[in-house]
A and B are shown apart, each in its own frame.
Chain A
């Protein structure tokens, strides 16, 4: 009898110690890597948090698959967008010469960039797949300035955690964490398949986030804010997607 209770005491003690230290390690990881998504509350919060945390640890530096030129889709699908608003039409009539990307928030030098300014920075290209949450996909070459080049130019403050980006089409805004913002394949895209980025595919300026679903690659970007907290944007869920019922993190 005393043997059993001693054994129980020892296993129980070990389990409790393992549990507590496991929780402590988990809390440390969460704090260090920022593993909690902004839409972590609600009934689907636990699954969403597990997905985001697991993928943040697994995919921190991984690169989205790139494809040979021969795999570029002959018939990419532009998806539908709402009819452009008047502000966009004015820019379009003017050949997008006055299009500006305003970068502000937690940066040392808030700046407005014209498309020519962005094109004068180091340009890169990638042949990656656009994947829609509905299930369809296509491969295209995307040409643009990596977002980290722009962020380096304006000098992001060390406490920054998220980049919030807005389309000229007002209800359309998204955000990504700093790991995705500094990722080498996250582009401010201005070209597609050797030409200018067509309006139907997000021209003149689209933020490509190839490790996440297409809805994070917002079209017609005009404004980018660096922040350490998403609470003050919209309903505080991180972006327009969770407000419409879709996950903030779309790496799945």
Chain B
């Protein structure tokens, strides 16, 4: 279940990322507060041409408008992501993956343990036996932050952009400081998710890209001279020497 939901999330996240970028192109200016438009001072501007000739970008070039399908796909992918997330969270609560592999183990809840892992990364020390089977404390903190902080935030700030949702739950946008603040925060949280993605892929590349991808698809990881079989819940169920 962890692996199936991972790959569904990959697909919907890329759909959200590309369509989100397309939507930003139609107004590459960000504001703080409730309102913001081309007659107002932006907080910052992304230096790209816009897909609307009403936005003064200084480039004298209007990009093709892709907003229609981008918006349809953005919201459809958001539904897939949210429903998958609900299934994932219920599954890891149920099957113990959260307790066994994500919450830092008792002995590792200290800065010393965190620095120890970072030191090993910096020395490029090979993963020890425990790390081959589960996540180290830095990985656990990163994954927990993405699952329980960044994704909930990006969903919340996205929902706050819906005028109909705001009519039912006005606090969703008001506590963020207004509609344009919510839009700016949605952009920044998406940026943090992209940052995670970059580091995530870089670490996989260091560990051997295709062997990791294969492991995430099949649930089997090849450790030298022995084969470790990972159950659907992500725990080691058997080791056999080959």
With an 8 A cutoff between CB atoms, is A212 at the interface? yes
Inter-subunit contact A64/B68 (CB<8 Å): no
Inter-subunit contact B34/A67 (CB<8 Å): yes
CB distance from B62 to the nearest CB of A (A): 12
Known contacts A80-B54, A134-B67: does B162 contact A251 (CB below 8 Å)? Answer: yes
Known contacts A48-B76, A134-B27, A244-B68: does B38 contact A77 (CB below 8 Å)? Answer: yes
CB distance from B135 to the nearest CB of A (A): 33
CB distance from B180 to the nearest CB of A (A): 7
With an 8 A cutoff between CB atoms, is B148 at the interface? no
Number of contacting residues on A, CB 8 A?
41
Residues on A with beta carbons closer than 8 Å to the beta carbon of B72? 44, 47-48, 245, 247
Number of contacting residues on B, CB 8 A?
42
Inter-subunit contact B69/A136 (CB<8 Å): no
Residues on B with beta carbons closer than 8 Å to the beta carbon of A58? 164-165, 168
Residues on B with beta carbons closer than 8 Å to the beta carbon of A211? 163-164, 167
Inter-subunit contact B75/A252 (CB<8 Å): yes
With an 8 A cutoff between CB atoms, is B24 at the interface? yes
Q: How far is the CA of A79 from the CA of B36 in the complex (A)?
A: 13
CB distance from A192 to the nearest CB of B (A): 15
Main secondary structure of the interface of B (DSSP, over half): helix
Chain A 63-119 interface residues, beta-carbon cutoff 8 Å to B:
63-65, 67, 71, 73, 75-77, 79-80
Inter-subunit contact B165/A252 (CB<8 Å): yes
Q: How far is the CA of A139 from the CA of B165 in the complex (A)?
A: 18
Main secondary structure of the interface of A (DSSP, over half): loop
Inter-subunit contact A137/B166 (CB<8 Å): no
Inter-subunit contact A55/B165 (CB<8 Å): yes
With an 8 A cutoff between CB atoms, is A226 at the interface? no
With an 8 A cutoff between CB atoms, is A62 at the interface? yes
With an 8 A cutoff between CB atoms, is A12 at the interface? no
CB distance from B85 to the nearest CB of A (A): 15
Residues on A with beta carbons closer than 8 Å to the beta carbon of B170? 65
Residues on B with beta carbons closer than 8 Å to the beta carbon of A134? 23, 26-27, 52, 55, 67
Task: Name which residue of chain B comes closest to A213, CB basis.
Answer: B163
Q: How far is the CA of A139 from the CA of B53 in the complex (A)?
A: 22
Residues on A with beta carbons closer than 8 Å to the beta carbon of B121? none
Task: Name which residue of chain B comes closest to A136, CB basis.
Answer: B37
Task: Name which residue of chain B comes closest to A47, CB basis.
Answer: B76
Residues on A with beta carbons closer than 8 Å to the beta carbon of B179? 129, 131, 137
With an 8 A cutoff between CB atoms, is B39 at the interface? yes
Q: How far is the CA of A65 from the CA of B172 in the complex (A)?
A: 11
Known contacts A136-B37, A136-B38, A245-B69: does B27 contact A59 (CB below 8 Å)? Answer: no
Q: Which of A76, A129, A252 is the one whose CB lies under 8 Å from B39?
A: A76
Inter-subunit contact A77/B39 (CB<8 Å): yes
Q: List 19 additional contacts besides A134-B27, A211-B167; criterion CB under 8 Å.
A: A44-B69, A46-B76, A51-B79, A55-B162, A55-B164, A59-B167, A75-B39, A77-B37, A80-B53, A131-B179, A134-B23, A134-B26, A136-B37, A138-B35, A139-B35, A245-B72, A246-B67, A247-B72, A252-B163
B interface, CB within 8 angstroms of A: 23-24, 26-27, 29, 34-40, 52-55, 67-69, 71-73, 75-80, 161-168, 170, 173-174, 179-180, 183
| Listed A/B pairs (8) with beta-carbon separation below 8 Å | A44-B73, A47-B79, A73-B35, A80-B53, A132-B27, A135-B23, A246-B67, A247-B72
